[in-house]
Amino acid sequence: MATKNTIILAAGKGTRMKSKLYKVLHRLCGKTMVDHVLTQVQKANMNNIVTVVGFGADAVRENLGNRTKYVVQEKQLGTGHAVLQAEKLLGDLDGMTMVVSGDTPLFTTKTFENLFTYHQNKKAKATILTSKAPDPTGYGRIVRNDLGIVEKIVEQKDATTEEQAIDEINTGVYVFDNRSLFEALHKINNHNAQGEYYLTDVIEVLKQEGETIAAYKMDDFNESMGVNDRIALADATRIMQERINRQHMADGISMIDPQRTYIDAGVKIGSDTVIEPGVQLKGNTVIGNDCYIGANSEIRNSVIHDHVTVTSSLIEESEMLDHSDIGPNSHLRPHALIGKHVHLGNFVEVKKASIGEGTKVGHLTYVGNAKLGKNINVGCGVIFVNYDGAHKHETTVGDDSFIGSNSNLIAPLDIQDHSFIAAGSTINRPVNQYDMAIARSRQTNKPGYFKKLPYQKD
């Protein structure tokens, strides 16, 4: 049975990144470069995916998990040598095998599928994915004869002056007849400027054997961008961000300034949502329909339901239900659940707490390790005191209660429905239903005391 396979090359350290992090694990738009490549490859319905690892092998495995098989390139002896490491997994299979680099995160599934289709239609033993480069410096050049047939690929360091003037470049992606690939890999040598086994030399071997070599030229050169340093990483991030934003706008999302809107790959956004400049939507975030995400808000790994307004606030690993709102300058820390029609005003912090429908927390308040019921009014400056120096404790507040301003609620604490906490109180004992709790000193006025203060005039 013929198979459709892909080998992802991810063994290089990437010294030009000048980083302790291995090159293919650098991130853009929320995912590592090699994860972007694997994601697009998976969508092309492969029978087998093999990732060649070397430097940082364990970290790459941890990042990609069981979505791919792995082989190890112990010594970095070139791309041909890297592909040869997959022979024990793929060598005996009939079918087609694509080879792609793990540092080319902008390739799309559509391009991969077009390449496979072109390869099949041409009945080729090898098909090279090429593109026309505005500046071909550093890329391998595609050398064609007068009839346009591919003669060879020549690397930059081995190219003549005439060959260096060619602007059709090798993107580093190929589809091969699988058996022919591994047979040819055993016939190449390392007689070149780098002393490495080039995968491109397989093309020359197949050519000499009279096999058909095809080249599919794609339209968008940007897809082929390889990332070798931080400058290229920033360029690739910009291109991918534009691609992500354009797709969201095509799906019915309004962005006031797309160039200043930062959305990770995989974020989901419902229709008629408006996003202001400076917004960052990260990780596995889901935004519902008809939301308004205000300027400079950041939302990470959170679920925002329909008709929610977020004004200049930070939301982490939390959930906001329909018609709730937050901000400006408020913070949902992990495991906050904000109910329907809840209002969280300015400078409110919520952590590991649920807030019931219709409750209002206006401003300058900390809610931690708490369960708040429905239709509660929480006054200004309230603190849910949840930490005793060793352990966290929980506070519960029943429906329709009123928490006066500048109150301290010291956990563990239970405040039942329809309770009233007087402003300025420090509460550390249960409050029964319909009770009002007051925990503050009685006011005392000292007549004429002002006149006793030093340096005061009558």
Active site residues: 363
What is the 3 state secondary structure string of the chain? CCEEEEEEEECCCCHHHCCCCCHHHCEECCEEHHHHHHHHHHCCCCCEEEEEEECEHHHHHHHHHHHCEEEECCCCCCHHHHHHCCHHHHCCCCEEEEEEECCCCCCCHHHHHHHHHHHHHHCCCEEEEEEECCCCCCCCEEEECCCCCEEEEECHHHCCHHHHCCCEEEEEEEEEEHHHHHHHHCCCCCCCCCCCCCCCHHHHHHHHCCCCEEEEECCCHHHHCCCCCHHHHHHHHHHHHHHHHHHHHHCCCEECCHHHCEECCCCEECCCCEECCCCEEECCCEECCCCEECCCCEEECCEECCCCEECCCEEECCEECCCCEECCCCEECCCCEECCCCEEEEEEEEEEEEECCCCEEEEEEEEEEEEECCCCEECCCCEEECECCCCECCEEECCCCEECCCCEEECCEEECCCCEECCCCEECCCECCCCEECCCCCCCCCCCHHHHCCCCCC
